[in-house]
Amino acid sequence: MSYEFKLPIIDISAFTIDSNSRTEKLKIAKQIYEACRNVGFFYLIGHNVPQEIIDKVLKLGYEFFHLPEEEKIKYSIANEDYARGYQRLGENVTRYKKDWHEALDFYKPIPRTHPLVLKNLPLRGENQWPENPSEFRAVFSEYIDYMLKLGALVMSAIALGLGLDENYFEKFLEESFWVMRVIGYPDLKNIADKDRVGVSCGEHTDYGCLTFLNQDNTKEALQVQTKDGNWINADPLYGSFVVNIGDMLNIWTNDIYKSTLHRVIHKGDSYRVSVPFFYEPNYDAKIEPLEACLQIDPVKHHEPVVYGEHLLKKVSTNFEIIES
């Protein structure tokens, strides 16, 4: 099944340190280009996000999931927009099978007076912050600020790698409709309802631009499909984020970059926690193949899409089952 394969490790510090030269930046941008073309996944180091806060969000996630069920369901997604909030174990579905995880989801908040809210459209609303653990909101809010900065930075490196101006993507991202999932995975042993349960998280591609995964030290859980169809482990590398590209970069690059299938199968003994941060385009950003990429292959492989519409289609299939 899985064999020894190391995802590339990319040190982004040429972009985080102001004094660094353009030559240095171009070198890193080229590495990112190759990684996105070959596997669509890489480890990111030199990112400047303090390790203390990276560790802390995992710890707070773990503590939240270990609260009694009645405390957790106070934040149920049913209170809000069926997107922001807590999803019980098995509530999320991939391809008609229950995913064996629980999660607390946050999206860019949309003020109640926003046109989206007034029109009663999905994915509107405010986040549901747990009161317990008490530091949860403050720590995660700081983390989100770091991740938004990092997202913009990596996208500037991606722009350079594609031969574009460093700030090319800014207009598509300045109102990033980000998503952050705090996910808890019990192990897959001892499941009563084996027929309806798939794996910990079924195979999928991510919807948007870039995903920054902060995962605990559980090994052999996250798996990534390589071009030859094999599944390899993307084991934790302490101090790094696992970064992958989503469907929007696939479209922008006219398939030069492929959003890569991945899944989670957690059979170990631990209770695994991961926090993927999805750095996404603006809700109303129109995404279509870039001129720079059409110079390489003039055949357009994708029609333009509006990011929010793509997201809605994907999110609406996340809960389709399954009579209880």
Ligand X SMILES: O=C(O)CCC(=O)C(=O)O
Q: Are 47 and 241 in contact (CB under 8 A)?
A: yes
Contact between 249 and ligand X per CB under 6 A: no
Number of shown-chain residues binding ligand X (CB under 6 A): 11
Contact between 222 and ligand X per CB under 6 A: yes
Q: Which is nearer to ligand X, 208 or 289 (CB)?
A: 208
- Omega before residue 133 within 30° of 0, cis: yes
Rounded Cα gap, residues 116 and 102, in angstroms: 28
Contact between 213 and ligand X per CB under 6 A: yes
Q: Which is nearer to ligand X, 183 or 290 (CB)?
A: 183
280-286-291 Cα angle (round to 5): 105
Rounded Cα gap, residues 231 and 223, in angstroms: 6
Residue 182 binds: one of Fe ion, ligand X, none (C-beta under 5 to 8 A by kind): none
The least CB distance from residue 243 to ligand X, in Å, is 12
Q: Which of 156, 215, 233, 250 binds ligand X (CB under 6 A)?
A: 215
Nearest Cα to Cα of residue 313 among 207, 239, 188, 224: 207
Q: Are 44 and 54 in contact (CB under 8 A)?
A: no
Q: Which of 223, 225, 254, 274 binds ligand X (CB under 6 A)?
A: 274
Q: Which is nearer to ligand X, 157 or 201 (CB)?
A: 201
Rounded Cα gap, residues 80 and 122, in angstroms: 10
Give the x/- contact pattern for ligand X in 155-184, rule: CB under 6 A.
--------------------------x-x-
**Residue 208 contacts by C-beta under 8 Å, 6 or more apart in sequence?**
177, 179, 246, 247, 248, 278, 279, 280, 281, 307, 311
Rounded Cα gap, residues 75 and 79, in angstroms: 7
> In the window 182-211, what residues touch Fe ion (CB under 5 A)?
206
Rounded Cα gap, residues 139 and 239, in angstroms: 18
Contact between 247 and Fe ion per CB under 5 A: no
Q: Which is nearer to ligand X, 100 or 136 (CB)?
A: 100
The least CB distance from residue 6 to ligand X, in Å, is 17
Binding site for ligand X (CB under 6 A): 181, 183, 201, 206, 213, 215, 222, 262, 264, 274, 276
